[in-house]
Amino acid sequence: MDYNQLAELLFPHITTTPADMEEKYPPRNLPEGAKVTRFAPSPTGFVHFGGLFPSTVAERLAHQSGGVFYLRIEDTDAKREVEGASEGLIRTLATYGIHFDEGAILDENGNISDKGAYGPYKQSMRGPIYQTYAKQLVREGKAYPCFTTEEELDELQQINKKEAIKHTDWQAEAESRRAEMLARRNFTMEEVKEHLAAGHPFVLRILANGDPEKKTKFTDLVRGALEIPENDEDFVLLKSDGIPTYHFAHAVDDHLMGTTHVIRGEEWLPSLAKHIQLFAYLGFKLPKYMHISQIMRLDENGNKKKLSKRDMGANMDDYTGMGYSPEAVCEYVMTLLNSNYEEWHAKNADKPYTDFPFNIKKMSVSGCLFDFNKLGDVSKNIISRMTADEVYEKLCVWAKAFDSDFAAELLADADYAKKILAIGRGGKKPRKDLATWVDAKPYMGFFYDKYYALVDSYPAGFDNADIKAALTKFLETYDAADEMNVWFDKIKKIADELGYASDMKAYKADPSAFKGNVADISAFIRVAVTGKQNAPDLYTVMQIIGEARTRERIEAQIAALN
Ligand code: GLU
């Protein structure tokens, strides 16, 4: 077979050569050790939590090494493409600190455009580049056209499968697949000419030369040494519309764009044999690979399951509504990605996660477990270290979008809100009340008359008359100008007067000698003023809500206890 002639027949419109491409996209001029990484999503929907993983790793490795991190849009499957997905993806990733140096970007009008010398960065725009290499492979006898239509192929495969399943004869299936492949490889130039003349579409297949009995040694940077069986499958390189498959586009793009480290999901590991073969056929240097494990979650029965698209927490856009701040999510991702992150963070609490020396060797091979409780803990720590001003600002942004009613209250008196948010902040052991912005209203709502309500009941074991007596006495001497000690001494005095122990030691020695103790008196007042048994320091609460409101609430409670 005259392969040059075949190449001309199949790709008459391609006049460029691989050498032209190499000239147009020369190797990058970067310092020793600089890594070039990319995120290469298919724009088929939202950013999955699992997608934040490889992209965070890729971003860290590139930027930590003074390299380049770029975005390539893998839109070769038009059927699965979702309108606006690329734009949404860029915005979502930016929310989580993932910024690209190069690649597909959003221009000022919010449209996708290109930045950098290695574009186009959208695969659908790179047809002639792929076809240039495809033509070369045909010239070298490493790829061939296949005119069997997709439908015919599907049908054949279905029949083979059904037969094999019926007879549980896997060897027969393998043999029939092999026979099919050999038949495909067998064609004449005349046949090709006839097909082309009749306008029949074709796909371009690789002519696989591997022997699966033979294994190639391969090192994955996360998984270590692996043995990969050689590829013997004539997989498709170009679909009938001239658009490449993932495999072919991966080889051509990552080569021309100078990717040094391919960081992708472990679902691509089974395709690695194809990629190794393809890079060798094309004469490209194989990049380094990291196959990242999928994110798991525990189901109701405590079994590990893949975090699927529909699971809570899968869609990164949901986190905003759930009230998580991006800092918390990023830090949580780091704790999942690097086992020593938490230790580092404990020692460097005031440093951003981007200062952490990310280490490939500390990555888990077995798959990380997604856990909202853990995310909540990380988030509580982060919010507890923010200033009241910061919390106020972020809370308002969230509330404006998701709870306009609450936002109106917060915005009506910023000083008041900040005083509330300042409670228990700034010390060595700050309060950790908020994991999300959603938690804010239940925590601090009682400061606003609009949300104040008796959520908890009074401590058990006391009747209305007891509670009323204590509350009434409190109002008799309450003075908002009192220092904390004076204020508390007054409460102790009430305890003594009403037969409660003001001294906890005495109470513990003989509880039966008292009606209760001073903590019960405080609890009556706390429930009356805040509506809750658990609230921040009562003295501070009263200082913030003020004397008038305090009295009003306690009076209303006394009346209600009648
Ligand atoms: N488009 C592929 C995907 O979304 C990219 C995999 C890769 O990073 O190479 O799975």
Give residue limits of the domains in the chain: 1-140+241-292, 297-384, 388-447, 464-561
Whether 509 has a pLDDT exceeding 90, the answer reads yes
DSSP category for residue 542: H
Calculate how far, in angstroms, residue 186's C-alpha sits from the geometric centre of ligand 1: 33
CB of 40 closer than 6 A to ligand 1? yes
Please check whether residue 189 is in contact with residue 6, taking contact to mean a CB–CB distance below 8 angstroms.
yes
Higher-pLDDT residue of 539 and 365 is 539
**Which stretch of 38-42, 79-83, 264-268, 426-430 has the lowest confidence by average pLDDT?**
79-83
Predicted pLDDT of residue 82: 86
Predicted pLDDT of residue 211: 93
Calculate how far, in angstroms, residue 420's C-alpha sits from the geometric centre of ligand 1: 47
Q: Does domain 464-561 have CATH number 1.10.3720.10?
A: no
**Structural tokens at position 258:** 């100078």
Amino acid at 515: K
DSSP category for residue 366: S
Estimate to the nearest angstrom the gap between the alpha carbon of 435 and the chain centroid: 17
CB of 43 closer than 6 A to ligand 1? no
CB of 250 closer than 6 A to ligand 1? yes
Q: Is 559 exposed, middle or buried (0-12, 13-18, 19+ CB in 10 A)?
A: exposed
Predicted pLDDT of residue 434: 98
Calculate how far, in angstroms, residue 264's C-alpha sits from the geometric centre of ligand 1: 6
Tell me the pLDDT tens digit for each residue of 12-59.
Answer: 999 999 999 999 999 999 999 999 999 999 998 888 898 888 999 999
CB of 72 closer than 6 A to ligand 1? no
Calculate how far, in angstroms, residue 144's C-alpha sits from the geometric centre of ligand 1: 26
Measure the CA–CA gap between 162 and 141, rounded to whole angstroms.
34
Measure the CA–CA gap between 470 and 521, rounded to whole angstroms.
7
CB of 247 closer than 6 A to ligand 1? no
Whether 312 has a pLDDT exceeding 90, the answer reads no
Predicted pLDDT of residue 160: 66
Whether 155 has a pLDDT exceeding 80, the answer reads no
Predicted pLDDT of residue 161: 67
Using 50, 70 and 90 to split pLDDT, how confident is the model at 350?
A: confident
% residues pLDDT > 90 (the chain): 80
Measure the CA–CA gap between 189 and 192, rounded to whole angstroms.
5
Using 50, 70 and 90 to split pLDDT, how confident is the model at 366?
A: confident
**Rounded mean pLDDT of 319-328?**
94
User: Which CATH number does the domain 1-140+241-292 belong to among 3.40.630.10, 3.40.50.300, 3.40.50.720, 3.40.50.620?
Assistant: 3.40.50.620
Task: Using the atom order of ligand 1, give the atom closest to the CA of residue 74.
Answer: 1
Predicted pLDDT of residue 13: 97
Whether 182 has a pLDDT exceeding 80, the answer reads yes
**Which stretch of 149-158, 256-265, 278-287, 295-304 has the lowest confidence by average pLDDT?**
149-158
% residues pLDDT > 70 (the chain): 96
Tell me the pLDDT tens digit for each residue of 333-343.
Answer: 999 999 899 99
Predicted pLDDT of residue 151: 66
Whether 142 has a pLDDT exceeding 70, the answer reads yes
**Which stretch of 73-87, 126-140, 159-173, 540-554 has the lowest confidence by average pLDDT?**
159-173
Amino acid at 413: D
CB of 71 closer than 6 A to ligand 1? no
Phi (first) and psi of residue 133, to 5 degrees: -75, -35
- Note the helical H segments in 338-387: 341-347, 372-384
Estimate to the nearest angstrom the gap between the alpha carbon of 416 and the chain centroid: 35
Residue nearest to atom 4 of ligand 1 (CA): 41
For the entire predicted model, the pTM comes to: 0.88
What's the first-to-final CA gap in the chain, in angstroms?
A: 104
Calculate how far, in angstroms, residue 263's C-alpha sits from the geometric centre of ligand 1: 9
CB of 41 closer than 6 A to ligand 1? yes
Calculate how far, in angstroms, residue 262's C-alpha sits from the geometric centre of ligand 1: 9
**Structural tokens at position 292:** 């990242």
Residue nearest to atom 2 of ligand 1 (CA): 41
CB of 254 closer than 6 A to ligand 1? no
Predicted pLDDT of residue 457: 95
**Structural tokens at position 37:** 């990484």
CB of 74 closer than 6 A to ligand 1? yes
Whether 164 has a pLDDT exceeding 70, the answer reads no
Whether 131 has a pLDDT exceeding 90, the answer reads yes
Using 50, 70 and 90 to split pLDDT, how confident is the model at 183?
A: confident
Calculate how far, in angstroms, residue 327's C-alpha sits from the geometric centre of ligand 1: 25
In DSSP terms, 229 is beta-bridged to 215
CB of 264 closer than 6 A to ligand 1? yes
Predicted pLDDT of residue 157: 67
What topology is assigned to 297-384 in CATH?
Answer: Glutamyl-tRNA Synthetase; domain 2 (1.10.1160)
Residue nearest to atom 9 of ligand 1 (CA): 264
